Amino acid sequence: MSQTDSTPRDRIERRTDRQTESGDAKLHASDLEIGYPSLEQPVIDTDTLVIPEGEVTALVGPNGSGKSTLLKALARHLDADAGDILLNGKAIAEYGSKEFARELGMLSQHGSTPGDLTVEELVHHGRYPHKGFLEGKTMEDEEAVERAIDLAGVDHLREQDVGSLSGGQRQLVRIAMALAQETDTLLLDEPTTYLDLRHQLQVMDVIRTLNEERGVTVCIVLHDLTQAARFADYLVALRDGDIYDWGRPKDVVCEELLAEVFGVVASVEYGEEPRIIPKRPVDR
């Protein structure tokens, strides 16, 4: 049966089966409700979320579907109102704050960077969870910072003030800071939005290298569905704060998804890689 003939119940069953069969979860959330004090209804209300260990998972969905809210809760920037979130099988609330920061790094969507530090100084800030009280820079810190600067490709910028950088350069430096934290799990909220194509590809390359060479588990919000489908091992599609579908890109990206989640009539073709051709908004 093609996906287009299936009922919502079929889709939910397929999604649940895939999540159950996907192997070890690095992050696992169940019966989640996440909201803000000013809102009556929760923004996120969903049953099960699995972020598989050692894989790249992309979170996709239209503006306002709750991607950033979900990521904030996974990173402990926001407390969930209900549900359980486990990292390595242990509730995230049970980690000490430095202990948590040694396990999981987060690059938020609207993060600011202080302008009066040099690139190298800023990247050193990524090392804070590895330091004791009043402890200076150790050999380990220096090495981690060098690895991060090298991997993010910002060596030529290291003496510059962060405030003098272009948007694309600043994003790579923020990524270097997150890399210096040397966590097994990295969450990134739209790290490529507003970057030119070259910087976008550079960022994606850094993330893929990190995953392949160090086995880092990545959960990344990507604005561009085609890019997400080509890049990620797994996709999570969010609609109105609920997980609409979850799985390998080839199992998730289809014309029905484009219509029901993104509100777009589109054709989806599969060659070597998926090709999405948007045509017009769905009549509502």
67 binds ligand ADP (CB under 6 A): yes
The H or E element that residue 72 is part of is: helix 67-74
Give the C-alpha separation, 215 to 182, whole Å: 11
User: Which residue lies nearer to ligand ADP by CB, 49 or 165?
Assistant: 49
Nearest to 261 by CA among 64, 20, 10, 17: 64
CA distance linking residue 265 with residue 258, whole number of Å:
7
Q: How far is the CB of 214 from ligand ADP (least distance, A)?
A: 27
- Binding segment (CB under 5 A) for Mg ion, from list 62-70, 130-138, 200-208, 226-234: 62-70
Closest CA to 152 of 221, 199, 222: 199
Q: Tell whether residue 68 is a contact of Mg ion (CB under 5 A).
A: yes
Pairwise CA distance, residues 93 & 80, whole Å: 10
* 63 is an interface residue for ligand ADP by CB under 6 A: yes
Nearer to Mg ion, 109 or 160 (CB): 109
Instruction: Output phi, psi for 211, to 5 deg.
Output: -70, -45
Geometric angle at alpha carbon 105, from 99 and 111, rounded to 5°: 125
Task: Identify what 105 binds: Mg ion, ligand ADP, none; CB under 5 to 8 Å per kind.
Answer: none
**Paired tokens of 93:** 């609330």
The nearer residue to ligand ADP, 39 or 139, going by C-beta atoms, is: 39
Q: What is the spatial distance between Cα 282 and Cα 81, in angstroms, rounded to a whole number?
A: 34
The residue (of 50 and 59) whose beta carbon lies closer to ligand ADP is 59
Minimum distance from residue 189 beta carbon to ligand ADP (Å) = 7
Please identify, using beta-carbon distances, which residue of 67 and 76 lies nearer to Mg ion.
67
Residue with tokens 């910028």: 157
Residue 247 binding target from Mg ion, ligand ADP, none, CB below 5 to 8 Å by type: none
43 is a contact residue toward ligand ADP (CB under 6 A): yes
Query: 83 or 126, CB closer to ligand ADP?
Result: 83
Q: How far apart are the first and last CA of the chain?
A: 27
Instruction: Report what 30 binds from ligand ADP, Mg ion, none; CB cut-off 5-8 Å by kind.
Output: none
Segment contacting Mg ion by CB under 5 A, of 67-75, 126-134, 138-146, 259-267? 67-75
41: Cβ–Cβ under 8 A, 6 or more apart, which residues? 35
> Quick check: 61 binds ligand ADP (CB under 6 A)?
yes
Q: Which of 66, 105, 126, 249 binds ligand ADP (CB under 6 A)?
A: 66
Nearer to Mg ion, 68 or 171 (CB): 68
Residues 80-119, one symbol each (x = binds Mg ion by CB under 5 A, - = not), give: -----------------------------x----------
Question: Taking a C-beta distance cutoff of 8 angstroms, is the pair 50, 110 a contact?
Answer: no
On the 0-12 / 13-18 / 19+ scale of CB atoms within 10 A, 180 is: buried
Q: Which two tokens stand for residue 163?
A: 């405030």
Binding site for ligand ADP (CB under 6 A): 36, 38-39, 43, 61, 63-69
Binding site for Mg ion (CB under 5 A): 67-68, 109
